[in-house]
Structure 1
Amino acid sequence: MSENTVKPFALDFDLITGLSQTKESTKRPLSKMKGMYADDAAFEAAVQNNDPLVYEYYELDLPETPGNLLFGTSILYPGKVGNEYYMTKGHFHTILETGEVYYCLSGNGAMLMENPEGDWDIQYFTPGQAVYVPPRYAHRSINLGNEPLVTFYAYRADAGHDYGTIETKGYRKLVVEKDGKPEIIDNPKWKE
């Protein structure tokens, strides 16, 4: 076998909790989300108060080569910054023509997506539902409920991640709570 060949193996993902012993989790506290939320004062207050954990993900450690699939679980905790729901940072793939699939294991939430041409969409998660992110779309998960949103995801292993575009420009749309329900609004910080 060549060095890039992956041998068959069993996984130990717990489909209830989304946890795995396969790889250490990557944790993203609120302080690592600077500039992602519209309300800067609420963001700074929350970071100074206790810098809560917003999300973490577990991913299988495989070679990032063509032909392999990478997959893992994401756990997005409930909460808000101001009136804006907790969300993942979001990203494009470095290979822009890459799709990705997410499957909701528990919780309730949404997948906010947009492409470089300005088209956007939102799809909602409930347990047992899959959301497909088409090629060319940046995507971010949003927890709309009161319990962790746990999703399983898979994408081509050589796709890479482009967080920089989102850090620089933001998303065109935000999801906020208004009158006890989610509402999609224009992002006042979005940069053309």
Structure 2
Amino acid sequence: MTGSDIAVDQPVLLEIFPTGAIVGATRRYEKHLGDMQDVYADNESWVAQVDALGADLLVYSVDEHKYQDGPGALIVGTSKLLPGRYGDEFSITRGHLHAKANRAELYYCLSGRGVMLLDTLDGQSKAIELTPGQAVNVPGGWLHRSVNVGDEPFITLFSYAADAGQNYAVISRAGGMKQLIVADESEQGWRAVENPKHTGYDETDLRS
């Protein structure tokens, strides 16, 4: 095979703003309060918020650009997680493990203040705070979820392999992630605590 036999996509200029907007995005999706059933450990507080604010309240949105599906392609996008509280718990995304679990992902904080909550199937758990200018390189094999611990939108720029896919069910089958990020009176304003509903992961959790 020669160089002329290889299909080559054209470079794409994207405009990415601190608000999370992307000029040139190919896809956008949103999650609303009603979509977050059984995501928060404090389900009663979630129900109360739905009753008070409505199921259509926007919780987070994702804008992304994908130029192809083949091996080696990247998805680049932004995630905008709005602030909120559910009892002591901060607003979170659903979180996922990649369907191809060895795929890594980079998150770079554009604005706001948040925590990247991470687990492995063998029981490791980490909570990494992100502020503008900081990034976390999430290796393959780590489940990950964004948490907004501030009073303004937590906006991140992300990039991962286009063939990675997402496995959302792994977290729900385990009763949530191993730790919760909750408010406290410390200077940082949050702490990680054990999730009493977490039942652990096993190899069957690699199902998509």
Per the normalisation by structure 2, the TM-score is 0.86
RMSD: 1.8
Structure number with greater Rg is: 2
* Aligned residues with identical type, % of pairs: 37
Residues 1:7 and 2:20 are matched in the alignment: no
Task: Give the distance between the partners of 1:96 and 1:4, measured in 2 at CA.
Answer: 27
- Which of 159, 162, 177 matches 1:171? 177
- Which of 105, 111, 118 matches 1:113? 118
Q: Is the partner of 1:118 in helix, strand or coil?
A: coil
Alignment of 1:29-178 (within 5 A): 29-50=32-53, 51=55, 52-169=57-174, 170-178=176-184
Q: Is the partner of 2:31 in helix, strand or coil?
A: strand
2:197 corresponding residue in structure 1 = 189
Q: Is the partner of 2:93 in helix, strand or coil?
A: coil
2:30 corresponding residue in structure 1 = 27
Stretches of structure 1 lacking an aligned partner (at least 5 in a row): none
Which residue identity does 2:197 align to in structure 1? Answer: K
* Structure 1: 4+ residue segments shifted above 6 A: 1-4
Task: Give the distance between the partners of 1:8 and 1:182, measured in 2 at CA.
Answer: 41
Q: How far has the Cα of 1:4 moved from its partner?
A: 6.8
Q: Is the partner of 1:58 in helix, strand or coil?
A: strand
Task: Give the distance between the partners of 2:66 and 2:161, measured in 1 at CA.
Answer: 13
Stretches of structure 2 lacking an aligned partner (at least 5 in a row): 201-208
Deviations 1:117-171 (A, max 9, x none): 1111111101011111111000001111011111000011111110011122110
Which deviates further from its counterpart, 103-112 or 2-11? 2-11
The alpha-carbon distance between structure 1 residues 168 and 3, as it changes in their structure 2 partners (threshold 3 A), is farther
Which residue identity does 2:108 align to in structure 1? Answer: Y
Which residue identity does 2:75 align to in structure 1? Answer: L
Task: Give the distance between the partners of 2:27 and 2:77, measured in 1 at CA.
Answer: 11
User: Would you say the 8 A contact 2:59–2:81 is kept in 1?
Assistant: yes
Which deviates further from its counterpart, 94-103 or 54-63? 54-63
Deviations 1:30-83 (A, max 9, x none): 211111111111111111222331110101133232111111000011111111
Deviations 1:94-137 (A, max 9, x none): 11111111000000111000011111111110101111111100
